[in-house]
């Protein structure tokens, strides 16, 4: 990236972005990034709810009071970027299941299809009140209202699926400039864990 002029490197400061993109370049990069992942993202949208709603429900059900308090604390942090907060949610909710394989799958799915989507400020408008359902989930957990929790979990899954589907229908107009990028995940935390 340094050779291509995208970043500068200094010993004390590290890397800094050196290139200034025009708005048209930003839009082209957004279009290219998302159109190359469209098939995989749309497949994930259809399957994410059935695959992970149950895990999220169990994760919240298993989470202790400390995790619930931390989820509430994160909700009040207005100066933290939404993708970072989502990372913390994933760790707190799914981490309570003590299943590292499931946690890696959810983490990599989040990085592939939700984090890029939530990193675009315009997409966050669909979720301005999205912490409301999280507060309901916390309340349902504390009240041990598991049916209410299930309804809230499925509502949230549907909300993100609908928002991503609208985004692709209304915003991504470019034809893919190459082959579609499939979603792939690795069962190993580090590649050094592979044994042949």
Under the banding of pLDDT at 50, 70 and 90, the label for residue 170 is: very high
Q: What does the pLDDT read at residue 193?
A: 55
Q: What does the pLDDT read at residue 127?
A: 67
Report the share of the chain in percent with pLDDT over 70.
Answer: 92
- Residue-wise pLDDT for 95-136, tens only, equals 999 999 999 999 999 889 888 988 888 887 766 655 568 889
**Average model confidence (pLDDT) across the chain:** 86
Domains, in order of start, for the chain: 36-169 (1.20.120.530)
Under the banding of pLDDT at 50, 70 and 90, the label for residue 51 is: confident
Q: What does the pLDDT read at residue 4?
A: 73
Considering only residues 90 and 185, tell me which one the structure prediction assigns the higher pLDDT. Answer: 90
Q: How many angstroms separate the CA atoms of 191 and 73, rounded?
A: 34
Residue 35 has pLDDT above 60, yes or no: yes
Q: What does the pLDDT read at residue 131?
A: 54
DSSP the chain: -TTTTSEEEETTTEEEE-----HHHHHHHHHHHHHTTHHHHHHHHHHHHHHHHHHHHHHHHH--HHHHHHHHHHHT-TTS-HHHHHHHHHHHHHHTT--HHHHHHHHHHIIIIIHHHHTSGGGGGGGTTTHHHHHHHHHHHHHT-HHHHHHHHHHHHHHHHHHHHHHHHHT--PPPSSPPPPP---SSSSGGG---
153's tokens: 């979990």
Q: What does the pLDDT read at residue 2?
A: 72
Whole-model pTM: value is 0.79
Considering only residues 78 and 171, tell me which one the structure prediction assigns the higher pLDDT. Answer: 171
Region 72-93 average pLDDT? 85
Residue 153 has pLDDT above 60, yes or no: yes
Residue 25 has pLDDT above 70, yes or no: yes
Q: What does the pLDDT read at residue 10?
A: 82
Q: How many angstroms separate the CA atoms of 151 and 114, rounded?
A: 21
Q: How many angstroms separate the CA atoms of 92 and 47, rounded?
A: 22
């Amino acid at each position: 990236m340094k050779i291509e002029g995208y970043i500068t490197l200094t010993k004390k400061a590290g890397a800094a972005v050196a290139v200034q993109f025009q708005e048209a370049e930003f839009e082209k990069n957004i279009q290219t990034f998302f159109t190359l992942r469209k098939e995989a993202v749309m497949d994930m949208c259809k399957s994410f709810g059935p695959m992970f709603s149950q895990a999220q429900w169990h994760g919240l059900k298993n989470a202790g009071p400390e995790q619930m308090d931390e989820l509430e604390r994160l909700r009040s942090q207005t100066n933290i970027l939404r993708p970072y907060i989502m990372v913390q949610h994933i760790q707190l909710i799914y981490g309570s299941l003590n299943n590292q394989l499931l946690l890696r799958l959810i983490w990599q799915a989040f990085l592939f299809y939700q984090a890029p989507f939530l990193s675009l400020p315009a997409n966050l408008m669909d979720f301005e009140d999205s912490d409301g359902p999280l507060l309901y989930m916390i309340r349902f957990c504390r009240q041990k209202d598991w049916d209410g929790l299930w309804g809230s979990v499925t509502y949230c899954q549907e909300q993100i699926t609908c928002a991503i589907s609208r985004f692709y229908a209304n915003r991504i107009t470019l034809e893919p400039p190459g082959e579609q990028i499939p979603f792939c995940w690795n069962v190993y935390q580090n590649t050094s864990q592979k044994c042949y």
